Chain A
Amino acid sequence: MAKKIGVYVCECGTNIADNVDIDRVIETVSPLRDVELVEKYRLLCSEDGKEFLKQSIQEHGLTHLVVAACSPKQHELTFMNICEAAGLNPYLFQMINIREQCAWVTLDKEEATGKAIRQIKAAIARVRYHNPLEKKEMDVCPDVLVVGGGIAGIKASQLLASPDRKVYLAEKTSYLGGKVKGFDKLFTNMESGSALIEQELKKLQGNENIEVLTDTEVEQILGFFGNFEARVIKKAENEELNLSVGAVVLATGFDLLDPAGLSQYGYGELDDVCTSMEFEAMNIPGGATGGKVLLKNGKPPKSVAIIHCVGREEKGYCSRVCCLYSFKFARMLKSQLPEVKVSHFYSDLCIPGKSYQKFYEETKGLGIEFVRAGKTKVAQNGKGMAVKYETERGQEGESATDMVILVSAMEPSSDTNKLAQLLGIPLDDEGFLAREHQLLAPVDSSVSGVFVVGCAQGPQNISESIVQSEAAAGKILSSLVPGRKLELEVRTSEISETFCSGCKTCISVCPYSAITFDEARGIAVVNEALCHGCGACAAACPSGAASLKGFTFTQIYEEIATLVR
């Protein structure tokens, strides 16, 4: 079919007209092959400009459109919409910037005109090789798999579940509530953790849209955003379940660094040196000590030392919540044993936020001692146990104590690694599930449709974990709408079956893991649902089999060939 390329040059008032000899542009470009017309207009983006363009396209039966005007970042979308309104495929269009990148930056009018002509010629050469492209949509499953039944997982499930969206809540142990269930008190109002969990679980009960799967582990997750297939095993029954979901939320929580590996603290060797979790367990009313803080010898301690930042140097990060829960421990101790002497050994207090300094000061006001000491160790001498410390200035000291609580670094829970591998999610340098973009996508993982929330992605407190689970819910509710198809990127990559040699180079460069290998045919295949259209594969393919729609080799070649002439 004969091509009829329409070229329109916008004067942009005087912005372009003053610095580019548009009449000469028209004169020079009109005789080019396939060019049906070259016209100028005062302001193409104005209401009458747009109307003029639409009419003109229809009147002349144009097959392709070139617009030379401001930056495509301003109005490419505007003119694409005009194409559609005029019945022309919006991808048979190329926009050229002769304002920001020509008229406004070139002193000499001759030179600016020459540059404009060159760029327009290149656009015409390129647009001849444009192909019509269609919008793509995909059916999605709105259901969600939440992995981890702690507070974050519970909250995410509550917010997501609805009559048209089922939530599967998979938990590897036999109970829901995670770590919070085991905290007798929570900072800052010292309310009960188990009560909080009970309250939240009540909201889950009777909710037909949430299927709770305890004693369940995730075996495999295949697929992509909108279309995941997850296989889980209910351990007790040895029953396999296949779940079709559209999104996955990972809320697998944390563990604390085992201080046994740090010999200076005497954990496991000396009596009455315990971890934070062990101290928490001691305070649970139904626990082994009936909720009482007791030494190994059955008596209550007269003095307790709380050592902050255990393992911080080894791990290389601050665990954010420990200073605060250490203050909580101090209050719990004082509340149970008013006469007990409590001493904190710390290097920096990390208490960010509007209310935490007050919490600290009130704690200090209870007669709690705070010793700033970078180096600490726990030793046993004839008289008993003592914390030996050295301040930043090099001063040494010793503080006798009956009991030591080691507040150690937060780590990702033991299953995190396995899950990360299952899903192809990278771990960050600290071992936590990595976020897609630390700042702008704090709960997205790099795998589209898989969200990482709570302590699985880094140390945080309860409120922050809940915010993240709600954030994941927000993203899912916004993009996976029941009954609505997912709109896909139009200018994606495609791989020619004929030319693909199966070298898999494209697969190794794709930043989005959007290319898979079809073993049967021995070729690479692009998943259009995941492709972002960057072109890394097209550039990497040694066979020329991979090409990026809208930025094919031929299209760019035509631009180059014209520009260097």
Chain B
Amino acid sequence: MKNNEHSTPVLVIGAGIAGIEASLLLANSGRKVYLVEKASYFGGNVIKFEEVFPNMECATCMIAPKQQELLQNENIELLTLSQVQAVQGSAGDFTVKVKKKARYVDLENCIGCSACFEPCPVEIDNEFEQGFSKRKAIYIPCAGALPNVPAIDTENCLRFKGEDCQLCQEACMFEAIDYTQQDEELELKVGAILVATGFKSLDLSKTNRYGYRKFSNVYSDIEIERICASNGPTQGQIVLRDGETPKSVAIIHCVGREEKGYCSSVCCMSSIKLAHFLKKKLPEVKITQFYSDLCIPGRTYQRFYEEVRESGVDFIRARVNEVAEQGKELAIKYKTEDSKENTLNVDMLILAPALEPEADSDKLAEMLSIPQGDGGFFTEEKPDLDSSVGTLKDGIFVAGCIQGPKDIPDTVAQAEAAVGRILSLSR
């Protein structure tokens, strides 16, 4: 589909599921798209999950064809390791400054053979794998990440710290590693901007909430997602830190809900999904979920919840007051609504924290002059009375969790709606 010379390009910020969907629709209509992504790979949060609710579909299988299509689409320029620095102008005529960090690996020459990883002497915790495995200073975050081209992490790379190491370059057969690459400052002229920068989980480590980062076997839900992943650090084996298989698991919903002041929409379902997955992998495991209100509004969500409950997972409406370590186990002290107190001992505790806007959102909001409302999420134009993809700034749209926590169907609908708004503007 050739570029339509009469329409201006569109900037999409964030290459998660919303950014990908919007970019493909815009590109297929003939528009040029600049898809700016700050990470070295794209796919956002969805590619971290093994399965997604409610049908337990394989997340990577679901999104891979779209990613492939995107990489091959001539109208989409994917700019990884890139962040928006400044925005000027108005609808139809924005000038956007983007800083594109150097990857130090040539995207054209690299064939993704991973020969450069082995010789690298630096080993660091792999953030994508939530620290469960290590990566090198030249790395891709996980098997199957796209584009299948590594990046050099200049903070940990010996060469970039002043040492004379060129082991990765020596190992490369294709002259793909280029230490002389420079960061670039790009100036893009676009007619519309779509912000789709997504979410992150509330950071539990600062408060050691419920023993997180204090006791061995307390995990956040995103950490368990990587443990469940077949392309993850344990290839999908469910194990505790000492390698043992857990016999009992507890999941606490709504972690951080009180201080955040809102319900994060998806955590009940994703917790139920995790329980379903764990039960499938470990049929004998005993799972107990602690929640305050069950938020399962989707069509088939209740059915799924009932199935999981019938499979032997306990759901207890209670407030968890304290988690203590008792030998190898975790003692969960909770109080039910009739004020009765009780304790449950488990091997593994999973926390489902609140969802927040992705890091650096404040800066982005300021750059775009978009107000942030409750929770720091971007405010839509007319809350409740109109579409939630329009903002108070003409020509700037939002889609996905940056506008508020939501599930994948609502995210994709917003991305498509933003495209609807953008395409109808250009007449």
Bound pair (A, B)? yes
Interface residues of A (CB under 8 A from B): 12-15, 43, 45-46, 70, 73, 77, 155, 159-160, 162-163, 186-189, 191, 196, 316-320, 348-358, 372, 391-393, 395, 428-430, 432, 435, 438-443, 458-459, 461-464, 466-468, 470-475, 477-479, 481, 484
Known: A429-B300, A463-B380. 18 other contacts (CB 8 A): A77-B72, A159-B424, A350-B293, A350-B296, A352-B265, A353-B405, A354-B375, A355-B374, A358-B261, A395-B338, A439-B52, A439-B62, A439-B408, A439-B409, A470-B421, A471-B415, A477-B423, A478-B419
Interface residue? B404 (CB, 8 A): yes
A479 touches B29 (CB 8 A): yes
Q: Are A354 and B173 also in contact (CB < 8 A) when A463-B384, A477-B420 are?
A: no
| Of the residues B54, B299, B418, contact of A430 by C-beta under 8 Å | B299
| A395 vs chain B, min Cβ distance (A) | 8
Interface residue? B237 (CB, 8 A): no
| A194 vs chain B, min Cβ distance (A) | 13
Residue of chain A at shortest CB distance from B261: A357
B424 touches A348 (CB 8 A): no
Give 23 A-B contacts (CB < 8 Å), ordered by A residue.
Answer: A13-B173, A189-B383, A189-B384, A196-B385, A317-B298, A317-B301, A317-B303, A352-B264, A352-B265, A352-B266, A352-B297, A358-B261, A392-B337, A429-B300, A439-B57, A439-B412, A463-B383, A467-B410, A470-B389, A470-B417, A471-B415, A473-B417, A473-B420
Interface residue? B360 (CB, 8 A): no
Residue of chain A at shortest CB distance from B72: A77
Q: Are A351 and B263 also in contact (CB < 8 A) when A188-B384, A316-B302, A466-B386 are?
A: yes
Chain B positions 1-29 with a Cβ under 8 Å from a chain A Cβ: 21, 25-26, 28-29
B262 touches A189 (CB 8 A): no
A352 touches B263 (CB 8 A): yes
Interface residue? B413 (CB, 8 A): yes
Interface residue? B111 (CB, 8 A): yes
Chain B positions 26-53 with a Cβ under 8 Å from a chain A Cβ: 26, 28-30, 52
| B345 vs chain A, min Cβ distance (A) | 23
Specify which chain B residues have a CB less than 8 angstroms from the CB of A13 in the assembled complex: 111, 113, 173-174
| A449 vs chain B, min Cβ distance (A) | 15
A470 touches B387 (CB 8 A): yes
Complexed CA–CA distance, A477 and B62 (Å): 24
Interface string of B213-243 (1 = CB under 8 A from A): 0000000000000000000000000000000
Q: Of residues A12, A391, A475, which shows the largest number of chain B Cβ atoms within 10 Å of its Cβ?
A: A475
A478 touches B427 (CB 8 A): no
Residue of chain B at shortest CB distance from A432: B299
Specify which chain A residues have a CB less than 8 angstroms from the CB of B301 in the assembled complex: 317-318
Interface string of B345-388 (1 = CB under 8 A from A): 00000000000000000000000000001110100100111111
Residue of chain A at shortest CB distance from B419: A474
| A215 vs chain B, min Cβ distance (A) | 28
Specify which chain A residues have a CB less than 8 angstroms from the CB of B336 in the assembled complex: 393
| A358 vs chain B, min Cβ distance (A) | 6
B29 touches A477 (CB 8 A): yes
B417 touches A471 (CB 8 A): yes
Interface residue? B294 (CB, 8 A): yes
Which 5 pairs show the lowest CB-CB distances between chains A and B? A474-B420, A13-B173, A470-B417, A471-B416, A352-B265
Q: Are A478 and B423 also in contact (CB < 8 A) when A77-B72, A186-B384, A429-B300 are?
A: yes
Q: Are A188 and B72 also in contact (CB < 8 A) when A12-B111, A317-B302, A478-B28 are?
A: no
Interface string of B78-99 (1 = CB under 8 A from A): 0000000000000000000000
Complexed CA–CA distance, A284 and B386 (Å): 22
| Of the residues B317, B410, B416, contact of A392 by C-beta under 8 Å | B317
Complexed CA–CA distance, A353 and B420 (Å): 23
Residue of chain A at shortest CB distance from B317: A392
Interface residue? B295 (CB, 8 A): yes
Q: Of residues A355, A372, A435, which shows the largest number of chain B Cβ atoms within 10 Å of its Cβ?
A: A355
Specify which chain A residues have a CB less than 8 angstroms from the CB of B387 in the assembled complex: 155, 463, 466-467, 470
Specify which chain B residues have a CB less than 8 angstroms from the CB of A358 in the assembled complex: 261-262, 374
A162 touches B384 (CB 8 A): no
Complexed CA–CA distance, A15 and B295 (Å): 51
Interface residue? B133 (CB, 8 A): no
